[in-house]
Amino acid sequence: MTTIRPRMGVVLPRDLPSPLVLEYARTAERLGFDELWVVEDLGYRGGLVQATAVLGVTTRIRVGIGILPAAVRNVAFAAMEIATLEQLFPGRTDVGIGHGMPGWLRQAGCWPERPLTFLSEYVTALRALLGGAEAGGVRLDPSAVPAAVPPLLLGVRGPRSLALAGQIADGTILAEPVTPEYTAAALESIAPTGEHSVVTYNIGAVDDDPHAAVEAVRPGLEWIGEADWAPHLAPLPFAEEFAALRARCSTREEFVARMPEEWVRLLALAGTPEQVRDRIDELGRAGVTSSLFIPAGPDPMAALTRLAAVL
């Protein structure tokens, strides 16, 4: 069987020092990555502004926004911003939209009463507005309507939200850790009826010494023992052992330090360039269309260059 390798991209670290943000984007393009994704987490940098900035200093690389919490922005004004981005940089942007982290949105006072219904209505209205149609009594001026509606993807986890992605979105963004097993389980819920992108995030490190690569990604996995990440682990053969280890450990740091190296390899993109390429091919066979690295290590610029060895 011929494997179509997923497009390869990188995530722009949310805490990257501001003088390095544009350099990071230019370097990712120069190294040959297909995609660069920005993140919008509460208290860090805004997704739309980051996307605009990096699109402005690059010419080829696709830029993804992952993700915009729907409840944060009025849909009409979100459509204005996204339409402008698509007009200025046509055909280079993927827009990720989701519920957002419930805890963060409650902190900000904007968690909707019916999150799934809200997200469905939001994306439907956004697509209509971007296409020049009316939604909620509003429409964009013809001068502001882009030539094409950019891909709208849902960044979601739960089975009902994944099913919604299959119904109304052009693709789905799966947060780390993403394994072939988790991808297959997610696609069962998504049940796409046509072409549907699957974008995945994974902690990544590449080194000629595979053990060094594993140790580099280990700290980035300390969160995955928490309850929010249970769906990612449920399809794996060691899910019960994984949960038992987390229960025995009093801290995240202890948990990740005691995690067997083989588990780390399966929950990240870590190893030699050949090993990581093979793992990305496995993800591709499971249905992943874009595989994104979250660079591991204290120096994101150096990590970015090492990751390019996979290309």
pLDDT digits (tens, 9 = 90+) for 281-307: 999 999 999 999 999 999 999 999 999
Using one digit for the tens of pLDDT, what is the confidence trace for 149-183?
999 999 999 999 999 999 999 999 999 999 999 99
Mean pLDDT of 31-56: 97
Determine how β-strand 290-295 pairs with β-strand 197-206: parallel
Q: What are phi and psi of 174, to 5 degrees?
A: -105, 125
Residue 37, token pair as written in the block? 């994704």
The amino acid at residue 138 is V
Mean pLDDT of 134-160: 97
Least confident among 76-85, 116-125, 131-140, 227-236: 227-236
pLDDT of the residue at 103: 86
Which residue in this structure is represented by tokens 């939200």?
A: 161
Q: How far is CA 44 from CA 10, 16, 18, 27, 40, in A?
A: 18, 10, 11, 22, 7
Instruction: For the domain covering 7-310, report its CATH number.
Output: 3.20.20.30
Instruction: Give Cα 3 distance to the centre of its chain.
Output: 22
- Determine the 3-state secondary structure of 290 from DSSP: strand
The amino acid at residue 54 is V
Residue 72: Cβ-neighbour burial (10 angstroms; 0-12, 13-18, 19+): middle
Q: What are phi and psi of 65, to 5 degrees?
A: -110, 115
Sequence ranges of the domains in the chain: 7-310
Could you tell me if 190 and 155 are in contact, meaning their C-beta atoms sit under 8 angstroms apart?
A: no
Could you tell me if 131 and 149 are in contact, meaning their C-beta atoms sit under 8 angstroms apart?
A: yes
Q: What are phi and psi of 167, to 5 degrees?
A: -90, -35
Could you tell me if 303 and 16 are in contact, meaning their C-beta atoms sit under 8 angstroms apart?
A: no
Please state, rounded to an integer, the average pLDDT across all residues of the chain. 96
